[in-house]
Structures are given as structure tokens and as C-alpha cells.
């Protein structure tokens, strides 16, 4: 089944404790992206990657890092999480010429205490 | 800069009613793409439709239909004979077709649709 997977789905952590949210897709898509969803603000792009080793900032990159060492994986790294990074995070992938349809993972709900 | 406005924050209907969700967009590009996504209470984002700016034909898929009008920069979504399972947040999104913007979806803030039995 074609899908985007994210792990973990739920995470509670404390301020300053580094964490990684993994994202993997099995559709051989070149493009992957991370979004965060917050009440009243909607969905905003954090980072995106056009292909292996090619990444760029979205609208709200502060406090986040990404890497794209393999085509299928695009982890989101929070080196020192803060409470304002409490959010619902979505990974997405798409193939073909942009702007192709982006398919989303199930979401990761993060709470930073 | 691209922008998507969904003026209806919440809509509540009774089952079997028709309902239209409004979406108005702003872009300086002549080539762009519009999308609708559904977010049910379980939280995932489900792709519904993609439309490019050169295709103004209305689309119908079962009980769903979309009305794209470039003259009013609108891409409205109608659910006919709504059902309880249609209850969800619906997002309209825009992506421009050139430069770095073609890798980004700009979302509206969403419309929460509640269909009551």
C-alpha cells in the first residue's frame, strides 16, 4: 500500500530534550515536506526537500532541522524543543513535476512541557 | 504572496442537506494549482482534488462537486445530500507553479463541517 508513515504518532517530552520525528514514504517520491498545524494558524510549512541531500526552509523553520540522506526518509529534528513547538506535525510527499499533489502522513502530536 | 481565505470557520447542517464550502485565493501567478483536503476527527489529511488554473471545468465526484471561477478567484466545494461521515475540517490550498513556491502548499484556515443526524 502506498503510504507516508510517521513515528511516533504521539510524544510528550520536556523542554530541551532532543527528539526526532521520522517520516518515510514508499512511493519513490522526490519531494518531501514537513508542516505544523496549530489552532487558528492552520498548516504552515517548516522545511521541504526536492531530492536527496537537497533541502530548503519553509515559512517557519526556526528551531527545526531536517536531513535527506535517503530518498524514502525525511526526519524532523528538534534539537532543543520548547513549549511553543507543541503542535501537530505532518510529513508529506509528492512525485512528478511540482506542484504535484502532496500526500500526507497520519500526523505526530507533540507536547513539550 | 499567495493567500487562501476560507471565510466560514464552522458550518453545521442536518443530514441530507446540501452544503457549500467557500474558498477564495490570491496569487500573482497565472499558473497555479488549487487543492482541497479533508481532515476527519481522526486527524489525518486526505487529498480530495487538484485543479490547475487553466482548467475551469467544474468537477463532480459522487456527492462532491467543485466550482472553479477564475473571475472571482474562487474554488468552492459542494457536498450534496450530506452525511454524518462528511463531518470534518476541510482545507483549501494553493500552490504556485514557479520558483520555490511550487514546493509549498499555502492552506486556508479550514472550515469545520458538522453534519448532524
pLDDT, tens only, B70-103 = 999 999 999 999 999 999 999 999 998 766 556 7
- In angstroms, the separation between the Cα of residue A79 and the nearest Cα of chain B is 24
The pLDDT of residue B1? 77
Angle at the Cα of B88 from the Cα atoms of B76 and B116, rounded to 5 degrees:
100
The pLDDT of residue B99? 62
Q: Is the pLDDT of residue A99 over 80?
A: no
The pairing of beta strand A76-78 with beta strand A87-94: unpaired
Rounded distance between C-alpha atoms, residue A97 and residue A22, angstroms: 25
Of B44, B104, B110, the CB nearest to A45: B104
Q: Are A81 and A15 in contact (CB under 8 A)?
A: yes
Q: Are A48 and A32 in contact (CB under 8 A)?
A: yes
Rounded distance between C-alpha atoms, residue A21 and residue B95, angstroms: 26
Report how far apart the first and last C-alpha atoms of chain A are (Å, whole number).
Answer: 36
Distance of CA A82 to the CA centre of its chain: 17
Rounded distance between C-alpha atoms, residue A101 and residue B49, angstroms: 9
Maximum distance among all Cα pairs of chain A, rounded to whole angstroms: 40
How confident is the prediction for chain A on average, in pLDDT? 94
- In angstroms, the separation between the Cα of residue B90 and the nearest Cα of chain A is 11
Q: Is the pLDDT of residue A36 over 90?
A: yes
Residue contact B105–A58, C-beta within 8 A: no
Interface size between A and B, measured as CB pairs under 8 A: 57
The pLDDT of residue B102? 63
Rounded distance between C-alpha atoms, residue B93 and residue B108, angstroms: 6
Amino acid at each position: 500500500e502506498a503510504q507516508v508513515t510517521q513515528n511516533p504518532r504521539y510524544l510528550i517530552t520536556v523542554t530541551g530534550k532532543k527528539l526526532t520525528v521520522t517520516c518515510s514514504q514508499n512511493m519513490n517520491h522526490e519531494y518531501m515536506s514537513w508542516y505544523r498545524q496549530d489552532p487558528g494558524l492552520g498548516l504552515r510549512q517548516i522545511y521541504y526537500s526536492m531530492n536527496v541531500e537537497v533541502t530548503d526552509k519553509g515559512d517557519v523553520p526556526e528551531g527545526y532541522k531536517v536531513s535527506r540522506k535517503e530518498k524514502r526518509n525525511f526526519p524532523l529534528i528538534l534539537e532543543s524543543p520548547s513549549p511553543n513547538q507543541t503542535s501537530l506535525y505532518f510529513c508529506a510527499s509528492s512525485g512528478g513535476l511540482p506542484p504535484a499533489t502532496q500526500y500526507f502522513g497520519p500526523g505526530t502530536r507533540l507536547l513539550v512541557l | 504572496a499567495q493567500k487562501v481565505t476560507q471565510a466560514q470557520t464552522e458550518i453545521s447542517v442536518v443530514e441530507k442537506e446540501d452544503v457549500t464550502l467557500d474558498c477564495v485565493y490570491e496569487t500573482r501567478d497565472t499558473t497555479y494549482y488549487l487543492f482541497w483536503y479533508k481532515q476527519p476527527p481522526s486527524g489525518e489529511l486526505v487529498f480530495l482534488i487538484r485543479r490547475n488554473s487553466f482548467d475551469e471545468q467544474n468537477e463532480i465526484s459522487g456527492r462532491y462537486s467543485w466550482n472553479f471561477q477564475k473571475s472571482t478567484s474562487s474554488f468552492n466545494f459542494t457536498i450534496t445530500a450530506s452525511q454524518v461521515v462528511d463531518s470534518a475540517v476541510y482545507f483549501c490550498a494553493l500552490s504556485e507553479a514557479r520558483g520555490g513556491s511550487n514546493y509549498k502548499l499555502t492552506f486556508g484556515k479550514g472550515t469545520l463541517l458538522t453534519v448532524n443526524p
